[in-house]
Amino acid sequence: MSNSGQVGPSSPLHSVSVAGVVVRGDGRVLVVRRADNGRWEAPGGVLELGEGVEDGVVREVFEETGVRVGVERLTGVYKNLARGVVALVFRCRVEGGQPRPTDEATAVAWLTPEEVTARMEEVYAVRVLDALGEELAPRVRAHDGRRVVSAGGAG
């Protein structure tokens, strides 16, 4: 029997998540402490069916922080090899609203790049630092859920 595009039990399944690295004029970045795992991360979550990628970024950032953003550009693609999650990370600018904790985020903070490195786990900090970099082409990286295991160049 041929596999004509149908997903079988042995086919790999992936989910797609999106995150927004919201950068303020002073270079600080908006991060949240997630309610479900206590980790500091850029706001984001799973892309919904029928939802555009950039629309998902705007929705997730607003739901988790109360901040309205405009999407500037894709800065990275990250695959969690252990869980099959592909994350698309975008640099964003503030367009309105005030940061506040939500049901999904127990705390919200504006961090410097140095604070990002100190407070966030490597796999989440690298996403923010990539978005703050000067490269215009997105980074492509894989990780095991804790550490980056391959770091592709830009493009």
Percent share of the chain, pLDDT over 90: 80
Domain spanning 15-136, CATH class? alpha beta
Between 58 and 5, name the one with better pLDDT: 58
14-70 confidence digits (pLDDT tens): 899 999 999 999 999 999 999 999 999 999 999 999 999 999 999 999 999 999 999
Query: Taking 50 as the threshold, does the pLDDT of residue 85 lie above it?
Result: yes
The residues, any chain, with a CB within 8 Å of residue 102's CB and separated by 6 or more, are: 63, 64, 65, 66
Q: Are 113 and 42 in contact (CB under 8 A)?
A: no
pLDDT of residue 14: 87
pLDDT bracket for residue 3 (50, 70, 90): very low
- Of all helices (H) and strands (E), which one includes residue 95? strand 85-96
The residues, any chain, with a CB within 8 Å of residue 6's CB and separated by 6 or more, are: none
pLDDT of residue 9: 58
pLDDT bracket for residue 11 (50, 70, 90): low
87-144 confidence digits (pLDDT tens): 999 999 999 999 999 999 999 999 999 999 999 999 999 999 999 998 889 999 999 9
Domain ranges within the chain, ordered by starting residue: 15-136
Arithmetic mean of pLDDT, 65-91: 96
Whole-model pTM: value is 0.88
